[in-house]
Amino acid sequence: MYLLDRDIADCRALLVDGNPTSRSILAAQMREFGVVHVTQCSRPTDARRLLEGKPFDLVLCEQHFHHDDGYSGQDLLDDLRRSQLLPYATVFLMITGEATYARVAEAAESALDGYLLKPYSAQALAERVKQARSRKKALHDVFAAIEADQLEPAARLALQRFRERGAFWLYAARIGAELLLRLGQDAAALKVYEAVLAHKPLPWARLGVARAQADGGQAIAALRSLDALVADEPRYADAIDLRARLQLEQGQLAAALDSCRQASEMTPGSIERVQRQGLIAYYRGQTDEATRALERAATLGISSKMFDPQCLLVLGVLRFRARDRKGLQRCLDNLEHLARGAGAARRLPRMVRVLRTLDLMLQRQIGAVAAAVDALAAERLDEDFDLEAACNLMALLAELAHTEIRLEQAPAWVETLALRFCTSKGATELLAGAAAAQPRSAEAVHRAQSRILELAEQAMTQKMAGDARGAVRALIAHSGQTHNAKLIDVARLTLQRHAAQIPDAEDLAATIDAMRRRHAAAAAFPRLGQAAGRQAGALRLRVGAAAAGAAAPAAVPA
C-alpha cells in the first residue's frame, strides 16, 4: 500500500465512470493509496444527487459518457460550482481520453483541480491526487477564513500570496479577486484580474474583468469584453451565461435568449441553463420553445437543489393556455410538494395559489377564482412581493382576460404593478412579456415605464434649475405613491451630490433609507433559473449570516 499523505485514510472518494471495469480498477487503485471510503456510480446525474446529499473529499470523474443524454463530467462540475454545491475542500479530478481537453482545462488554475489523460499509470494518478490535495492544504488558511465568513482576512491572505508569488499564486489571485467582488470592491478586483492577464491571458481572468465592469455599473463595457471573450473562446459557457444576464438586464430579451440557447446547446444536461432558456423563451413569447425547455428542465432536475420552482409555475400557465387540465394538475401537485418544505417563505405558496386559481378556472368555479385573484392582488404592495411575483400575477391576469370572468379592477392592478416594478428596461420587458397574452396590459406596462422616466426627468429639470431640495422631495413623494425603487435611488443619488446645499439633508436621507429598506429588495432582478447567490464565472463562496449582516467593509489592498 502506498499512502498519498497521512490524512488519506479519512478521505471520502466518489468515482464516476460509465465503464464498470474502469471503475473497479480505479477503486482498487484508490484503496491501494490508502483511501478507505470509496463510493461508485456510473452516471454524472447520479453523482450530482450524491454530491447534493453529502460532502466528498475527492471526486474522480470521467469526462465523456455514452448515456445520460449528453451530460458530461464537465457539465457536472460546472453545475456543482455554479450552484455552490462543491466545497472548497473537495478535490475534483477529470479523466479523459482526449488530448485536446488540456486546451480547456486551464491546467491546475481553473475551477478544475486537475485532469488525467488516458491511458494513465497508477503513479500518474497518485501524483495528480497528491498535487491537488497539496494545493488545498497550501491555501487552507484562506479557505478556513472563508468558511468562517471572514472575507476581508481571507482576501488579504490570498492577495498576499499573489503579490509574493507564493505556491499556487494564480489560484490565490482568482480567490482574492472573487472575494473583492463579493466585498463590493470591483475596482480593486479589476486590478487583480488585469495583473493576472499581464502574466497570462487566462479566460477566467478575462471573464473576471467583465464581471468587475458589470458590478461597477459599466454594463456596456462588460458586454464588449464578453463579446471579445466569446469570440476567442466560443465554448466558454460561463462567459455566455454572464452575457445573457447582462443582455436580459438591458432589456435585450432576443439577444439574451440567443445566448441561453448557445449555452444550453453546449451543455444539454445543465439544469440551470435549460430552465433559464425556457423561462426567457416564455417571456419572449416563444411558447413552443419554452414548453420544450421547461419540460426538459423538470425531467432533468425536479428533485435537484438546482431546480427553480418558477419553471413549474410557467409550465402550468402554458398548460392552462392549452386547456390541458391534467398537465396543469401535475405542475400544481409538484409545486405543492416543493412548497411544503418552503418554511415561512411566501414565494412558493404564492406560486401554488396562482396555479390553483388557473385550475379553478378550468373547473369553471368563477366565484372562487375571483376571490383568489382578489387575495393575490391585495398583496401587490407588500414588501416581500417582488418582481417575480409581479410577473406571475401579470401572467394570471392576462390568461384570465380570455375567459368568461370579468375582473373590473384588473387594469388598476396592472397599473400599480407596472408603476412599482418598471425600474429598468429589463424589468419592464419581463413584465410586458408576462402580460403579453393581453396586449392592453403589455401596453400599460410600457406606458408606466414612460411615466416613471418622465417623473425622474422632471426632478432632474428641477435640480438643474437650482432647486435640488425640491427635486429630492418630489422624488420622495413620487416614490411614496408608486413604490418604485428607481425613483428612490435617483432621490438618494441626488441627495448625495447636493447634500451641502440642503439644510435638512439628514432627515431626507433617513426617509430615503427607510423607503429603500422597504422596497429595493423587492425590485431585484429574478433568478430566472440561476442558483441563488452565485454569478456566472464566480467561484463558490459560502457567505453566511455573519458576512451578510456585517457593516460596510474597509478596502482590502490589491
DSSP string of 371-439?
HHHHHHHTTTTSTT--HHHHHHHHHHHHHHTTSS---TTHHHHHHHHHHHH--SHHHHHHHHHHTTTSH
pLDDT score at 104: 45
pLDDT top residue among 486 and 100 = 486
Residues in contact with 345: Cβ distance below 8 Å, sequence separation at least 6, in sequence order: none
pLDDT digit string, tens, across residues 304-362 = 888 999 999 999 999 999 999 999 999 999 999 999 977 778 999 999 999 999 999 99
pLDDT digit string, tens, across residues 206-242 = 999 999 999 999 999 999 999 999 999 998 988 999 9
pLDDT band for position 384 (50/70/90)?
A: very high
Q: Classify residue 127 by burial, with Cβ atoms within 10 Å: 0-12, 13-18, 19+.
A: middle
Q: Classify residue 471 by burial, with Cβ atoms within 10 Å: 0-12, 13-18, 19+.
A: buried
pLDDT at 33 over 50: yes
Mean pLDDT of 85-109: 64
Query: Side by side, which strands form the sheet with 37-41?
Result: 37-41, 12-16, 58-62, 91-96, 114-117
Residue located via cell numbers 466558454: 236
pLDDT digit string, tens, across residues 121-134 = 888 899 888 888 88
pLDDT score at 300: 86
Q: How far apart are CA 359 and CA 231, in angstroms?
A: 47
When mean pLDDT is compared across 436-445, 527-536, 547-556, the lowest value belongs to 547-556
CA separation (Å) from 198 to 161, 164, 192, 195, 208? 17, 16, 10, 5, 14
pLDDT band for position 171 (50/70/90)?
A: confident
pLDDT band for position 168 (50/70/90)?
A: confident
Mean pLDDT of the chain: 88
Q: How far apart are CA 418 and CA 433, in angstroms?
A: 12
Judge whether 16 and 73 are in contact, CB under 8 Å: yes
Judge whether 197 and 206 are in contact, CB under 8 Å: yes
pLDDT score at 403: 92
When mean pLDDT is compared across 1-5, 209-213, 410-414, 439-443, the lowest value belongs to 1-5
pLDDT score at 549: 37
Q: Classify residue 460 by burial, with Cβ atoms within 10 Å: 0-12, 13-18, 19+.
A: middle
- With a pLDDT cut of 90, the percent of the chain lying above it is 65
Mean pLDDT of 283-295: 97
pLDDT score at 182: 92
H-helix segments, 267-309: 271-284, 287-301
Q: Which of 216, 175, 215 is nearest to 196 (CA)?
A: 175
pLDDT score at 543: 40
pLDDT digit string, tens, across residues 14-28 = 999 999 999 999 999
pLDDT score at 329: 97
pLDDT top residue among 127 and 78 = 127
Neighbours of 462 (CB within 10 A): 19
pLDDT at 1 over 60: no
pLDDT top residue among 192 and 139 = 192
Handedness of CA 479, 481, 484, 485 (dihedral sign): positive
Query: What is the 8-class DSSP label of residue 70?
Result: G
Highest mean pLDDT: which range of 81-90, 206-215, 525-534: 206-215
pLDDT digit string, tens, across residues 477-528 = 999 999 999 999 999 999 999 999 999 999 999 999 999 988 888 888 888 8
- With a pLDDT cut of 70, the percent of the chain lying above it is 91
Length of the chain: 558
Query: What is the 8-class DSSP label of residue 66?
Result: S
